[in-house]
Structures are given as structure tokens and as C-alpha cells.
Amino acid sequence: MVRLNASWLALPLIGFVVVTLVVPIFSLAKLSVYDATVADALPKTTAALRSWTGPELPDANTYAVVAAELIELQENRELGRVASRVNRIASGMRSTISKTPRRFRRSEEERADLALIAIDEKWGKPQIWYAFKQATQAFSSRNFLQAIDMRIAPDGSIERAPEYQRVYVSLFLRTLLVAVAVTLLCLIIGYPMAYAMANSSPLWTRFLLVLVLIPFWTSLLVRTTSWIVLLQQQGVINDILVFVGLIPDDERLTLVHNMTGTLIAMTQVLLPFMILPLYSVMATIPRNLSLAASSLGANPFQSFIRVYLPNSLPGVAAGGLLVFILSIGYYITPALVGGSQGQLISNLIAYHLQSSLNWGLAAALSVLLLLGVFVLYVIYDRLIGIDRMKLG
């Protein structure tokens, strides 16, 4: 017997996925706990503050070091970057840091600590120094704490964020809720569709399969666009409702750019991912099983509940998990039809990446989302088996 071992042929793709996905994800994870911007820009301040633990103010020497380094930063035009980083931990510090170097140079006060406090009384508050020290620590859990609406209190303990800053826990819950709702909607709508496909004549089955596969292959953006066109206030659905007389012309429904739009569009977009696994399981259920049940005296309802449904459960699990996994990380559809209240966790990650530039927080939120998806993925593998995933 000739040995035909070609296992090593998997290595190129393994290497490729590791380099283009796994390594980038790990460096993102690092970004969520590690940020050396301030520590690198203010090395002497960082060193001076390392030994300071409060609660009294740092010594005059520390003040002098801070002032000198801030002046140096201003000359190198790097002050803004550091100021905004510190501002993230202690809001209001941006302006304090920005004005300090300029005014310090003009100050005639001999002692650095008195000079700084004269420039801005914030320099005389221990909690500001605690925040400043936090900013100089490169390794920190603050992004993760912020991602679950907690923060490090001035005294170093962990407390809940003030009420107006608590957004992320409810956003995670909303994302979870939307994923559950979309999965259930897909199941309710998709189950009878898959049943119809599995229990028709071959010609009908092919036809219905094409109806499911056309949207499956159609660009996501096209399908989202079609929902905007249909659902807008001057769109087709509202026009029909007005024409039929169900609603008056001046009370058109707001169906898009809100949660309704997100739910409708996401359900339609993900429906094929529910139908196809369901169908492939249902196609293997022998048709005479239901006949046997009814010949034994079961009414159609009993025969469905006791015979057909249990046999189709593997399909329900496969489709349900797939739709759930996909919808938890959904971005494009909510971004385009979600408005402000239909946004999910992915959209906020994108916001922190592109607009607020709080990359550490974006990374922490990403890691949390990824952990959730990872758990679901493992469940999918244990329950259904990834190698049994089929397409189309």
C-alpha cells in the first residue's frame, strides 16, 4: 500500500488565516488593555508618579517634572494627543493640560506646585492626580470596565459609572434581544417555508429553492437598499397603505431608521441561513412517517408535534444557531436602516473606531463581543459540527 499523506497541504491556509486574522485579533486584544501613549510621552512624570500613592498631593519636584515635560511636549506638538488621552479618564483635563505649558512659562512663581495650582486649581486636587497617574499606566483594565459601565474610582476601587455614562450594558442587552427576536422571527417564518420546499413535487422544490437562493446570492447592500426604498415614508409600503385607506396621508408610518427597520431588514437578510439548514434536514425525513402516524390514529397536530417536529430539530438547531451567531455581530443593516435607536454593539465599535477615536474602548467592546461569538461557535461545533455546515 502506498502512503498518501497530504496533511501538510493544510499548512498554507492555516498560516494564512493565522497571519491575516488571528494575529490581528490578538493585537486588537492587546490594544484593549495596553496603551502607552501617555507613558511614552511623559516618561519622567510616569516614573515620578509611580511612587506616589496619595492621598496628599505629590511633592513639588513632581510638579516641576510634569511642567517641564508638558512644555517639551508642546514644543514637539504632541500635547493634544496626550491631553485627549488624559481627558478620557478625567474629563475636563484637556483644557487644563493644553493651557498649562504656555502659562507656566510666563509664570513668575518660584515653586512649580504653586505655579501649576495658580494656572488651574485642578492641579491642586488629589483625585485629578489619581486620574493622571491612571493615564500614565500603560496596562489597565479601564477599557473593559468602561465596556461594562464600571470605572476606577479616584481611590482605586471599582465602582459603577455615573448614570448618564451607562450605555454599554444596555447596548449588549439590546443586541442580545435583537438577535433572539431575529432568530425567532426567522424560525417562525422559515419553518413552514422549508417544510413546503421539502414536501413538494421535485419541480416545485427546485422553483422554491431558487426563490430562496436568489436573495442568498444577492448583495447585502442591494437587499438593504430595497428595504429603505420599500419602508421610507414616501416609499412603496406607505403608499400602498395610504392608497388602500388604512392610514391617512399625513400619518405615514415610520418604518425605517429605527428598530422596526432593523428587525424587518435583518430578518429578511438572514432568513436563507435559517431555511437552508432546515430544508436539508427536512428533506431527509421520510414522508411516509406522517402517514404512519395518522394511520395509528394521530390527528395532524399530534403527528406534527410527536413525529415531524422532533425529526426536524437538528435543522432548527443548526439554522437557529447560525442566524443567532450572525445577527449578534451584525453591522451593515443596522448602520443603514437602524437610525439612532436601532444600532447594535457592532455599530458602536465602528463609531469608536471612526468618530470618537477611543480605540482602546473599541478594542475592549470587540473582545467582549468576540468572546460571546466564540462560545456560540463552540456550541455550534459540539452540537452540529462545523464540518457539516453546508452552503446553498
Partner 1 sequence: MNPRPWRALQGAIGIFTACGFLFLIGPLFVIVPLSFNAEPYFTFRMEMLVLEPDAFSMRWYQTLLEDEEWHRALFNSFFIGICATIIATTLGTLAAVALNQPRFPGRRTVMALLISPMVTPIVIVGVSVFFFYSTPWIGLSQTYLGLILSHAMLGAPFVVITVTATLAGFNQTLMHAAASLGANAWTRFRRIQLPLISPGVITGALFAFATSFDEVVVVLFMGGLEQRTLPRQMWSGIREEINPTILAVATLLIIFAVLVLFTVEWLRSRTARQLQPN
Site for partner 1 in 345-364 (CB under 8 A): 346-347, 349-350, 353-354, 359, 362-363
- Grouping H, G, I as helix, E, B as strand and the rest as coil, residue 278 is helix
For position 326 contacting partner 1 by CB under 8 A, the verdict is: yes
Grid coordinates given for 75 = 514644543
216 within 8 A of 276, measured Cβ to Cβ: yes
**Residue 92 vs 192, nearer CB to partner 1:** 192
Site for partner 1 in 231-290 (CB under 8 A): 232, 234-236, 239, 268, 271-272
Dihedral sign for Cα 130, 132, 138, 141, please. positive
Among 176, 331, 339, 379, binds partner 1 (CB under 8 A): 331
Phi, psi dihedral angles at 127 (to 5 degrees): -65, -30
For position 76 contacting partner 1 by CB under 8 A, the verdict is: no
What is the smallest separation between the CB atom of 13 and partner 1, expressed in angstroms? Answer: 4
What is the smallest separation between the CB atom of 148 and partner 1, expressed in angstroms? Answer: 18
Cα dihedral 336, 342, 347, 351 in deg (nearest 10): 90
What is the smallest separation between the CB atom of 378 and partner 1, expressed in angstroms? Answer: 8
Grid coordinates given for 77 = 506638538
- Grouping H, G, I as helix, E, B as strand and the rest as coil, residue 226 is helix
Taking CB under 8 A as the binding criterion, the range among 49-57, 66-74, 156-164, 215-223 that sits at the site for partner 1 is: 215-223
Site for partner 1 in 150-179 (CB under 8 A): none
**Residue 70 vs 231, nearer CB to partner 1:** 231
For position 4 contacting partner 1 by CB under 8 A, the verdict is: yes
Among 58, 101, 154, 190, binds partner 1 (CB under 8 A): 190
C-alpha 162: how far from its chain's center? 22
- Alpha-carbon span 171 to 372, nearest angstrom: 14
C-alpha distances (whole Å) from 302 to each of 291, 307, 310 are: 12, 8, 12
DSSP 329: T
What is the smallest separation between the CB atom of 171 and partner 1, expressed in angstroms? Answer: 13
Q: How many residues bind partner 1 (CB under 8 A)?
A: 93
- In sequence order, what are the residues at sequence separation of 6 or more whose Cβ sits closer than 8 angstroms to the Cβ of residue 304? 290
- In sequence order, what are the residues at sequence separation of 6 or more whose Cβ sits closer than 8 angstroms to the Cβ of residue 195? 282
Structural element, H or E, at residue 94? helix 93-106
For position 201 contacting partner 1 by CB under 8 A, the verdict is: no
Q: What's the half-sphere exposure (Cβ side, CA atoms, 13 Å) at 99?
A: 14
**Residue 3 vs 77, nearer CB to partner 1:** 3
Residue labelled with grid coordinates 397536530: 301
For position 212 contacting partner 1 by CB under 8 A, the verdict is: yes
For position 1 contacting partner 1 by CB under 8 A, the verdict is: yes
- Alpha-carbon span 22 to 364, nearest angstrom: 16
Site for partner 1 in 301-320 (CB under 8 A): none
Site for partner 1 in 85-114 (CB under 8 A): none
Among 130, 168, 227, 273, binds partner 1 (CB under 8 A): 227
For position 36 contacting partner 1 by CB under 8 A, the verdict is: no
Among 336, 361, 364, 384, binds partner 1 (CB under 8 A): 336
Site for partner 1 in 7-26 (CB under 8 A): 7-14, 16-18, 20-25
